[in-house]
Structures are given as C-alpha cells and as structure tokens.
Structure 1
Amino acid sequence: MKETEKKRSAHAGSVKSRREVLRTGALLAGGLAVGALSGCTGGENKNDLPVEKSRAPLGRWDKEYDVIVVGSGFAGMAAAIEARKTGASVLVVDKMPVFGGNSTINGGAFAVAGSPLQEKEGVKDSVDLMVQDMLKAGRGLNHMGLLKIVAAGTRGAYEFTLEHGVKFKPFLQHFGGHSVPRTLQTTISSGAGIVRPLRKSAANLGVAFRNRCKFEDFILDENDAVIGIRVKDRYEFPNEESGEFREFRAKRGVVMCSGGFSQDRRFRMMQNPRLDERVDSTNHPGATAESMQAMFGVGASPVQIDLIQLGPWSSPDEKGFGMVSQFNTIAGFPMGIMVDVRTGKRFVNELGDRKERAEAILTRQDETGKPVYPVVFCTAKGAEKAQTLKACLKYNVAWKFDTIADLAKHFGMPVEGLEEQVAMYNEAVKTGEDKQFGKPMGRAIPLDKAPFYAVRCWPKVHYTMGGVEIDTHGHVMHMRTGKPIEGLFAAGEVTGGPHGASRLGSCAVAETLVIGRIAGRNAGKRSA
C-alpha cells in the first residue's frame, strides 16, 4: 500500500461508504491534501475539450464541488448545465477515455411533441398523444408521473438544445410505434450532434470534466446522506487493476447519469438468461451495471430491471450499432417492407413498436433453432434520405438490385412469392390501407421502380428500461423508507419507469434531456 493510502487508513472519521469507512479524514502537516491529483487526459479526441488538471489543497478531500455528475451523455450534459446555471460548481466524471457514452453513438433521434417542424408540416400532435403512444409501447407498465413529465418537457428540451447550438435536419421522421411523425434527427445522424455542443457550452459555463475517472462508490455521512464519491483516477478501461483511489466531495449532491447495462452480460443474464454471449449489443463497451448496483447498495429501489429492449433494425452482418440501423429507421421500415426469406412474405407491421418487431423477427428460426435473417428493402426514392446507404454498400452490408427477381434470387427467396407480396403492398399504398398488418401508410411509397436496396436484419440488445426509482424531481428513492436518499439524484438509462416494457424509438433522447435538466437543477439548488 502506498504511504499516502496508509495515512488515509489511519484517519478514518465519521464519513462512510456502504462497504467500509472510507479514508477521508487525513490532514497532513502544512494543510496539504494527501496525494497528487492530476487530470486524466489520455485518450482524448484531438477535437475534444481539455479535462481539468489542477488540484488545490483541501484537506481531507482530494477535490470539492457543489455538484458531481457521473456520466457524460445526454442526461449528464443536461444535468451539468442546469446545475451550473444555479451557481453551483460542477464536476462531470466519466470512466471512459472519450466523453459521451452511448449518447455519442446513437442515431441522434429526438421525439418532440408539438415541435415547430410539426406545425410547419401540418402534423397534429400533443403531449397526451405522445403519452398514449409511450404507454401503448410500454404495455401499460410505465410510471405515469415520470412519463407525463417526459412528454410535457420535450418542447422545452428541444428549445434547450437549440440554445446550445444543436442542429437538426429540416424534416420529420416517423419512427415505429408513434401515431404521427414527431422525430427530429441531428444533421450528422448521431447523438454526437447533441453531446458535443452541450459539452462545449458546459465547459464555457465553467463545468469541469474528468475522463478515465471511474466511479467506485458513494461516501455517506453519519445520517446516510450522500456527500461524495470514491473514484479510480487514471483508470484504463477495462483494466480493474488500473487507477488510483480518490475522494471527491459533493456539497449539494451527486447526479448519477451513468447509463444502462446492455454490455454487462453477467448482470443482464441475471435478468434474462437468454441474453448470453451469443446476443450482440449496439452499446459502447462501457455500458455496465456497477454504478446502478452501487445505488442499490445504499438503498435505492430497483425498478423493472428485467425489462431489456432489443433493437429490431440491427444487422447480423456488422458489429454493434452499425450503419444498417440508420438505413432501416429512415428508409427500410417506413418506405419499404421486411420479408421472411423462406416465403418472400411480410410477417409484421414494419412501423410497429420495437418490442413487437423484435419478437416477430426472433421467431424466424429453422428447425434447428438457427436464425433465419429477414430482408428489408425499399426503392432508391425511399432511400434518398438514408445517409448511411453509401457506406452500407461499400462495406457489403447492403445490396443493390435492378429487379425484384434479382433481389429474391440473391437471398434464396421464392421469386413468385416475393413478387406477389410486392404487388399486394403496392395496392395497399394505392388505397392507403394495409390490410395485412395495419402499417400506417400516410408516407408510404410503392415498390415499383428500380433500383432496390436491401439489407439483412436481426435484433441486438439495445436499451435497459429498468433502473433505480426516482421521483419527478430526480431524487433517488430509498427502497425501505420510500423517501429520497439525501444528496442523491439520477437521470437517464440508469433509472427506471418512464418507458415501461418497451421504449419507443427517439424517446431516450427526450427522457434523458428532460429528466437530466430537472435532476441537475434540483441538485444545484439543494442546500450545501
């Protein structure tokens, strides 16, 4: 053990964690804090902002802030900005070498009820309609208080993003499960188009950032209020032997925005044993459960943690989130059809919610249980707004065909069956009614002009609906008392409740921004 660590151990005071009395009481001669503390700059993107490097002597704590935010995605950035706007000093920590987590690699799609673009395009929408859509997708398991706040807050969250320089495409998208087109998407088709502007604004406001700084545990006072966190500084993911322990004080509160656990195979298999190593995930490798588990350790209530969503638009021909997902959400599903290669026939509403589509796809198996990958395709006109199509073709995860017969032969489909299906679908487009599966046909176009673009499809673990219980103010609730855990707030995928059994696409950005802003604001306003 290092000499400074030995000295810390000898001075344990009234501050404690859930596992041990943490070493936070040491005050060395001359009033200097123990241990040198330097910034964690390794692995930073050259275009990223610098992380904090300075350290002032503060006695028993390595650093002190009013608010500490754990996680740097949509929720973390929104929380940090709102907390800082209250006048609080704010630190954001992230265990990964690059900031943003899943938020930087998602599609940047944001559901807004009553957006200016809807008004411009004559789309009638409302908060109540968005609530109804999310409730239907959630199979009625949504926590209504949180659900209503999310839907009601989307317009304000949208305006918040514009204030900080986020740019969206000038057209609406109709994602599966939504009654009307209400989804906006960043101009770069990525959540980085939101995270980067928000982080730049946060830094300009004076928010401090530390990457490669892994949250380890909470530090509690004698009344079990959260007063700080223990971290591993200079942490090198995923090496658990790396890093140096530090203790950071949070005088007003800690806001946990640490995300879900889609990449934590052990923990997700505890909830659903079928989601083993054979099931890929769209998430970044750091999407693991330790921060959520630490909250359970200090009494947080678990909510619906067995509800795990699979993204129905993924491809078996590429790893992770990939490029096919964006093609399917913008072109394949709304502008085309998905068929079973054994018959050439459709088997589900391509604009159904994610749970409906994923479960229908997963039943496509042969007699031995091996996947039979469905094919999604549309015309060139249907694909004209799919930004990733060119890359999909380049990397052989999408294919171009001059005739329906050529498409069928490539995938081993019965030509006659596929041609019959296309004729039936084209008639549905003409009449405006899909008698097969009830797909909304308002923006559908016929599959009658070559070329045709096709991809293969198979679900991947995408989102974890469950997490810790929070109230409508972002407080983390105690399992036994049903009251807030003092000093502890949370937002985003690490929480549970608003989405119920299945999240509608583009509602994660909505939820994380809305609740993140609320949690950060309330943490900043809390008395030190």
Structure 2
Amino acid sequence: MSKETMSRRDALKLGVVGAGAAMLSAANAMAAAPIEKDVKFDEEYDVIVIGTGFAGLAAAAKAAERGYKVLILEKMGRIGGNSVINGGGMAVPNSTWQKKYGIQDSGELFIADCLKAGLGINHVELLETIVKRAQDALDFSIKCGAKWQDVKPAWFGGHSAPRSLVTDNMSGSGVIKPMHEFVEKLPGCKIMTRTKMDDFVMSNDGTSVVGVTARINYRFDAKLLSDDVENKTGEKKVYKAKKGVVLASGGFSMDKVYRKLQDPRLAEDMDATNHEGATAGALLKAFQIGAFPVHVSWIQQGPWASPDERGFGVAPLLTQQGLFKLGIAVDVRNGKRFMNEMADRKTRADAEYVILREAPKAYPVAIGTYNTFEEQVYPIMEKGITGGVMKKFDTIDALAANYKIPADALKETIKKYNEDAKNGTEDQFKKQSLKDVKGKEAIEMKGPFYAIRLVPKPHHTMGGLQINTKAQVISANTNKPIPGLYAAGEVTGGTHGASRLGTVAVTDCLTFGMIAGENI
C-alpha cells in the first residue's frame, strides 16, 4: 500500500475507530501522509482552511484580517456544509440581548447546563473559553453582516434560561451568506469549491503539518463507500501552508459506514439531518498523523425531527420553538406524556427510542395550539402544513382519530397538564418552560390543534480531534500540539461531552474558528 493511497477502509482496519482505539505508532502515522521532500508544491499560502462552515469562514476571516494569504478548500459544490442548513440559533450566555430583555443568566449556569446534557464528560476548559468569547463571536457575525431577530432570546431544550438568538431567516444561511461575502472581499482570501483535501503534507522530520494534497474539479458521490479512494474524480494539487492548516471539515453524521462502526444502532439506511457530504475522511486523515481522538462514539440524535420529511426540514423549528415549549409529546399507544419536552436532546431522543423499540412505527406525536408557537416561527407554520410534516385539526377528537390515539386518555393528559400550568404546580417531568404560564392554559382547548410526528435522526457527532483553548490539535504521540495543525467546530471533540445543547454548535464553531484564525 503506497503512502498516498491509504483509504478510509485501511484506516479503519488499522483500528482508528474511536476514542478508545489503539493509536497508530508514530512511524505508521507518518507513513500515511506524504512528506515535504517528496512533493512539489503547486501553490503557496500562509494559511489553508479546510471547510466553509461557521468555523472555517471565521478562521479564514480572522487570519486574513491579520494580513495572511488564505486558501479555503470546500469539497462540495456549494459553500456552508451543515452550517448553511441549520436552524440559525446561537446560544450566547449572559449576553447584551438577555440584559436588554431582563433575562438573568450567567456563564456558570451555562456551563452547568452543558455538563448536565453532556453527562459530565465535557472538557470544561473549552466551555469556559466559549463563555469568555461567545459575545465576541456574536459581534463578529454582525460585523460580517449577519442579522439576528431583535426579540426576546428563545428558550431551547436543556437550557435553564432563554439565551438563544435566531437569525432573521431562521437558518444558518443567515450567517454563512454574509460571512462568505465578507471573506471573499478580504485581500488575500481565495475560496475553492469542489476541491477535496486528500491528505496532510508533513515536514521532513514528520513532526509538523506544512501543507495538504487536494483534488480540484472533484465531484462528491454519496453512493461510494469511500470518498477518499473509490472516487477518482479531480486533478491532484499540492498546496503549501507556511503558517499552518485549520481543519474545519465538520462532523460525520452522513458517513453511514463510520457512524455505524461507532454506534451499531445507526442503520446505513437511516435518515439524518446533515448534508450528504458530512463524512469522516478528513477526520481520519488527522488520526493517521497522530491526532488524539475524543468521544468519537457519542453521536447525538435530534429528538425534534420527523419521519414525514427528509433531512433537517422544518419540523425542528416547529417543534423546538413551537410544540415543545408549551405543548406536549405523547405516546400514541396510550395518549400519555413520556418525557420533558424541554429536556436536553439525548434525554428526549432516548425517551422516544423506548417507544420505537417496542413499536417501531408508533411514532410519538407533538401536540400544541397556536399560542404554543413563538412568534418567530409563525411565517413557517403554513409551510409545515402544506408540506405535510405538520397537521392542523379543529378538535382533539379529530387529532386523536388521525393518529389512532385513545381520545379520552389524551384529553385527560392535556387536562392534567393545563391544571399544573394554571396552578403554577411543577408537572410530572419538571418542565422548566411552564413557569411563565401560571394563570392560563398552556394548551388552549378552544383549538385549533397542531401536531407533528417525531423520530430521532443522527444530527451532531460529539467527538473528534482533541484541541486546546488555542484551537491547536493535540498529538497522541507527544501529548503536545501538532505544529501547524489547528481545528475548530464539529470535527473537534470534548466540548459537548455526551450530548450537545441546542444552539451551542454555532457558538462553538464561530468561537473556536475565530480563535484558530487569531492564533495560527
């Protein structure tokens, strides 16, 4: 096997499969990547960034603002990866927005929430860095042209306070598009799409990253097992990075082979919320040169997704900022609630799986009325209805009949839920968002009623490369930073522990993308 053709499958055979796997020896790791004396560089830059999501564009912008010549490589035909299709929410603890609307919050409370969702295995120093720089990241997004809704911050699951801002268009594209334009206008910045990073180029002594090999005119093919070797498209190029490389290639929720290796419950035909290019190739290349893997087998599933649409869709917006906050989710077999609809994602997804393991087609149903939706999502309610992912009913009886839910049991569930809300009594699942409802019904019984079927979908890969607070990638061979290699965003691990809180990904990606660009 030549040093330039080690594929993803080869890497897996060598055991680079997760945080607990045996690491390659230093000699084997170096053999997996070309070294400087054996290549001829086609072009030379100060900084090379892999990926054009939140983290990649933030890193490129900060590096370019320092006067560096920056090359940004994107393997897909469009900019943004998962960032451009996400829900556009950004958690900013103790923000100027919260202060404007009189919301009490703190960095300590934010970290406590993250640790609770992450089962306590988060790397706290990374969370502390996010707390320190979250407002900076928000301000930087605004500087780049992002527009955020000037309303009270939204309350997402697992958070102890409303602390999440949402873009005007309720999509990550509200940040990516202006940031893309901002980066393109910076002197010395060059973005290349359909250009896939194939490997790192190491220094002659094998200790530092000095560039990358890549293919231009690359055409991603989701039908191929490996986009490293089986896909032969593109023309090979070699790029030098005098200051270093920032890996911001994202997660691997659409890598049906690698994700199943980490979590065998994730069938290869299972739908996910990610774009089709969210694969593990670049991550595995970093493992091959000795980067430490962290929490790779923890894969988060979104409990707010629906089987009635492909991918991310609109259900996550209509449930998280609509049906979940004041509405309920019920088991269709008995009409009863089975979880805190505002718990963290893992807690809710696990609760849904209890039902689906017993009855695979008994999709739970989220139920609410017009008042349960936040004002921000009113414009997309009709889209959800016309697209078929959300249904509207005049009566509870009609809703129950449609989903074959015992009507009397469902009515009793709603009655008890509304009584607890009216009386200010803690409900059976200790739902934190009900505390502001006292004196009125949470679900208005006059109707109409709205409902969405629920199914968990792979959404965010918690694990990846170990980094420090300067976004430097840590070597398993030396336990020190690998010179010339930085990483930010979902390709890294440790920040979120076992499960990420909603809207913290944007904060994480922008924050550590900025830090990588500032420190490289």
Q: 1:428, CA displacement in angstroms?
A: 1.6
- For 1:488, which of 465, 468, 485 is the aligned residue? 485
**2:205 equivalent in structure 1:** 223
Alignment of 1:397-416 (within 5 A): 397-416=389-408
Indicate whether 1:348 and 2:339 are aligned.
yes
**2:262 equivalent in structure 1:** 271
**1:375 equivalent in structure 2:** 365
Q: Tell me how far apart the structure 1 counterparts of residues 279 and 291 of structure 2 sit (CA, whole Å).
A: 17
Q: Tell me how far apart the structure 2 counterparts of residues 21 and 190 of structure 1 sit (CA, whole Å).
A: 39
Q: Tell me how far apart the structure 1 counterparts of residues 244 and 123 of structure 2 sit (CA, whole Å).
A: 24
For the 8 Å contact 1:74–1:195, the answer to whether it is kept is yes
Q: 1:123, CA displacement in angstroms?
A: 0.6
For the 8 Å contact 2:215–2:235, the answer to whether it is kept is yes
For the 8 Å contact 2:35–2:202, the answer to whether it is kept is no
**2:148 equivalent in structure 1:** 168
Q: 1:409, CA displacement in angstroms?
A: 1.2
Q: Tell me how far apart the structure 1 counterparts of residues 33 and 345 of structure 2 sit (CA, whole Å).
A: 43
Q: 1:17, CA displacement in angstroms?
A: 6.3
- For 2:443, which of 442, 447, 451 is the aligned residue? 447
1:137/1:435 CA distance change after superposition, 3 Å: same
For the 8 Å contact 2:33–2:199, the answer to whether it is kept is no
Deviations 1:389-436 (A, max 9, x none): 211111111111111111111111111101111111111211223321
For the 8 Å contact 1:331–1:385, the answer to whether it is kept is no
Amino acid at match of 1:359: D
**1:9 equivalent in structure 2:** none
Amino acid at match of 2:211: G
Stretch deviating more after TM superposition (508-517 or 150-159): 150-159
Q: TM-score, normalised by structure 1?
A: 0.87
Alignment of 1:146-165 (within 5 A): 146-165=126-145
Amino acid at match of 2:435: G
Higher helix share: 2
Q: Tell me how far apart the structure 2 counterparts of residues 159 and 226 of structure 1 sit (CA, whole Å).
A: 32
Q: 1:335, CA displacement in angstroms?
A: 2.4
Q: Which runs of 5+ in 2 are unaligned?
A: 1-28, 225-230
For the 8 Å contact 1:17–1:219, the answer to whether it is kept is no
For the 8 Å contact 1:335–1:443, the answer to whether it is kept is no
Stretch deviating more after TM superposition (358-367 or 242-251): 358-367
Aligned length, in residue pairs: 474
Deviations 1:215-268 (A, max 9, x none): 100001112211100001110112711101100010000000000110011111
**Identity score, percent:** 44
**1:262 equivalent in structure 2:** 253
Q: SS of 1:99's equivalent?
A: coil
Indicate whether 1:233 and 2:233 are aligned.
no
Alignment of 1:233-382 (within 5 A): 233-238=216-221, 240-365=231-356, 367=358, 369-382=359-372
**1:522 equivalent in structure 2:** 519
Larger Rg: 1
Q: Tell me how far apart the structure 2 counterparts of residues 95 and 17 of structure 1 sit (CA, whole Å).
A: 24
Indicate whether 1:434 and 2:447 are aligned.
no
Q: Tell me how far apart the structure 1 counterparts of residues 33 and 337 of structure 2 sit (CA, whole Å).
A: 58
Deviations 1:110-165 (A, max 9, x none): 00012222112211011111111101111100011111111221111111111111
1:487/1:366 CA distance change after superposition, 3 Å: closer
**2:76 equivalent in structure 1:** 96
- For 1:142, which of 117, 122, 129 is the aligned residue? 122
Q: Tell me how far apart the structure 1 counterparts of residues 371 and 123 of structure 2 sit (CA, whole Å).
A: 40
Q: SS of 1:455's equivalent?
A: strand
Stretch deviating more after TM superposition (378-387 or 495-504): 378-387
Q: SS of 1:219's equivalent?
A: strand
Deviations 1:5-53 (A, max 9, x none): xxxxxxxxxxx96436468767xxxxxxxxxxxxxxxxxxxxxxxxxxx
Deviations 1:62-111 (A, max 9, x none): 11110000000000011001111111111110000001000000001000
**2:182 equivalent in structure 1:** 201
Q: TM-score, normalised by structure 2?
A: 0.89
Q: Which runs of 5+ in 1 are unaligned?
A: 1-15, 27-59, 524-528
**1:462 equivalent in structure 2:** 459
Q: SS of 2:185's equivalent?
A: helix
- For 1:188, which of 160, 169, 183 is the aligned residue? 169
For the 8 Å contact 1:74–1:103, the answer to whether it is kept is yes
For the 8 Å contact 2:52–2:73, the answer to whether it is kept is yes
Q: Tell me how far apart the structure 1 counterparts of residues 185 and 254 of structure 2 sit (CA, whole Å).
A: 33
Deviations 1:266-317 (A, max 9, x none): 1111111111124211000000001000000101000010010000000011
For the 8 Å contact 1:366–1:372, the answer to whether it is kept is no
Q: SS of 1:268's equivalent?
A: helix
